[in-house]
Structure 1
Amino acid sequence: MTEKIDIHDVPIDNVSMDEALDAVLEMLKTKEKHMIFTPNAEIIMQANRDPELNSILNKAHLVVPDGAGVILASKILGKRLKEKVSGIDLVKRIFASTAKKSIGFYILGGKPGVAEKASINIVSEYPKAKVCGYRNGYFSNQEIPDIIKHINDSKAEILLVGLGAPKQEKWIYNHIQDLNCKIAMGIGGSIDVFAGTATMAPEFIRKSGFEWLYRLIKEPKRAKRMLDLPRFMFLTFKTKLKKK
C-alpha cells in the first residue's frame, strides 16, 4: 500500500515514476482486476463537481499526479507529492518493461483509424510490444457488448482507454467486472500522441510546468476547459487558508 495524499477529495498515490511502474508490474502478477487513472488539475476539478467521477477515483487502485498543477497544489497544502507521473510517460515505461514478457495490450479510443496508427507506431518503437487489438472510441451503447467480447477474445492483459475524462473513467469502472484484463488504464489523448496526430510539448516546457500553455496554443478550443486551472489554484489557496 502506498501513501495517499488528498488533493481536493481525490486521493493521489504519492509515488515516483519508478514506484508507479513497480506497482503496475506487481498488478500483472495477480489475478485481480485493477483500475489506473492519471488525473491532472482539470480532472480533479471535474471530480469536484461530479460525485460519480469522484467516487470512481476514490475506488481506483493507482491514481498518479499527471500535471505540474497537482504537484504545486500538494506543496501549497503541505502534503508534497514526490513527482509528476504523467500518463503517457508511465505507459511508455510499461511498454518498455513488458516488451520481453509477452504482455498483451488492447487500445480503445480516438477517432477512426487513430488507434490503428497508434498500434503500428508502438510496435515500431517497441518491437517486442504485443498489441493484441484496437478499436476507435466512437461507438454506441449497443456496441459495447461486442467491444468487450473483442477485448476479452484478444487475451490482452492491459487495456488502454482513451475516451477523455470523465468518460474513460466511467467506462472503465462500469465495465471492469466484464473484462478479463488485469489492468484498465485511462490514458486520455495519449493515443493521439502515439498515433502522431498530436504532439507532446518539448521536454523543457514539460519540466517548466507550462505544458498547459503549449497545449492551449496548439489547441485553442481547450480554452474553456482550461478555466479550471485558475479555479483549481483558487480552491487550493482557499483550502490552505481554511487550515490556518
Structure 2
Amino acid sequence: MSDQRVSVLGVDFLHTTMNEMVARLAKHLEQEDKTFVVTANPEIVLYAEEDEDYRGYLKKATYITADGIGVVKAAAMLGTPLPERVTGFDMFMELLALANERQYSIYLLGAKDEVLQKTIAEIERQFPQVNIAGSHHGYFDWEDPSIENEIQAAKPDMVFLALGFPRQEKWIAEKMDSFEKGLFMGIGGSFDVLAGEVKRAPVFWQKIHLEWFYRLVKQPSRWRRMLALPIFAGKVWREKRKGTS
C-alpha cells in the first residue's frame, strides 16, 4: 500500500480508499502499533490553517483521511486527486466489524451519557463479539486523570472519541504517549448517528455528494458551520491560481 500524501491547504491527506485504509489499520492492530487517525473535512482544514496548536495536533496524526467531498474536489482542483472519501462514520463501522470478527476490545469516549448508553446497546446488538472494555461520556474535567488511567488499565485495541474537533484531536495528541498500544480515532458525531439520535443522509444524497445539504435541511442550526464551505472553496481556488501563475 502506498504512503502517498496529498496536501490540501497545508493538511496532508493519505491517498487511499476505504478498503485500503481498513486493511492498513488491521495490520497496525495485528502488530499492536499505536496509531492516531484523523478524518478531516473542509471545516477542519480551515481551522488548522488558522490555529497553530491544532496544526500541531494534526502533525502528530499517523494518518489523515478525506472525510468530506469538499476535500476530494479540492485535491482534484489542485491537480493531486484523491480516490474517494474515507469518512469517519463509515470507518468507525468498518472497524467495529473488524473488532467483531477478531474479538478486539474498544473504549468509547464522548457524547451525552444517554447517547453513549444507546451507542453501547447498538454496538452490542450489531457486533456482539466486540469487547467493550470501558466508556465515559464527553463531559469531564480535562485535568482529571481517571479516564486516562482507566484506559491504561483496560488496554483496549481501539479508542473512539466522539468529542468533536478540536477537542478529540487535542486529547489524543496530548495523551497518546501514555498508552502502550491502541488505535485512537476521533469520530465527531458518530455516536449520535449510531444511537439513532441524528439521521444520516440516505445513500442517494451521499452518492450525489449533497449529504451536507441534507444535513443542513434537517438541522438548520448548522448554517453557520456551512459557511466554511464557500470560504474553503475560495482558498483552494486561490491556491490553484498561485500554482499556475
Same fold per TM (> 0.5)? yes
Residue-by-residue CA offset, 1:196-232 (whole Å, 9 max, x unaligned): 1111110111121111111112222221111111000
> Residue 98 of structure 1: CA displacement?
2.5
Matched with 2:12 is 11
What does residue range 77-88 of structure 1 map to in structure 2 within 5 Å? Answer: 77-88=78-89
Letter of the 2:56 counterpart: S
Residue-by-residue CA offset, 1:98-142 (whole Å, 9 max, x unaligned): 313121011100012211210110121122222221110001123
Contact 1:75 1:81 in 2 (8 A): yes
What does residue range 13-28 of structure 1 map to in structure 2 within 5 Å? Answer: 13-28=14-29
Matched with 1:206 is 206
* Ranges in structure 1 where 5+ consecutive residues have no aligned partner: none
Letter of the 1:41 counterpart: P
> Residue 93 of structure 1: CA displacement?
1.0
Matched with 2:107 is 106
Contact 1:159 1:181 in 2 (8 A): no
> Residue 32 of structure 1: CA displacement?
3.1
Taking structure 2 as the reference length, what is the TM-score of the superposition?
0.95
Residue range with higher mean Cα deviation, 176-185 or 21-30: 176-185
Contact 2:41 2:67 in 1 (8 A): yes
Identity rate of aligned residues, in percent?
33
Name the CA distance, whole Å, in 2 between partners of 1:93 and 1:142: 32
What does residue range 42-53 of structure 1 map to in structure 2 within 5 Å? Answer: 42-53=43-54
Contact 2:16 2:83 in 1 (8 A): yes
What does residue range 79-158 of structure 1 map to in structure 2 within 5 Å? Answer: 79-143=80-144, 145-158=145-158
Taking structure 1 as the reference length, what is the TM-score of the superposition?
0.95
Letter of the 2:105 counterpart: G
* Ranges in structure 2 where 5+ consecutive residues have no aligned partner: none
Matched with 2:240 is 240
Contact 1:157 1:180 in 2 (8 A): no
Residue-by-residue CA offset, 1:31-70 (whole Å, 9 max, x unaligned): 4311000001111111111112122222211111001101
Contact 2:32 2:181 in 1 (8 A): no
Query: Quick one: structure 1 residues 231 and 208, their matched pair in 2 at CA, closer, same or farther if it must change by over 3 Å?
Result: same
Residue range with higher mean Cα deviation, 69-78 or 28-37: 28-37
Letter of the 2:101 counterpart: K
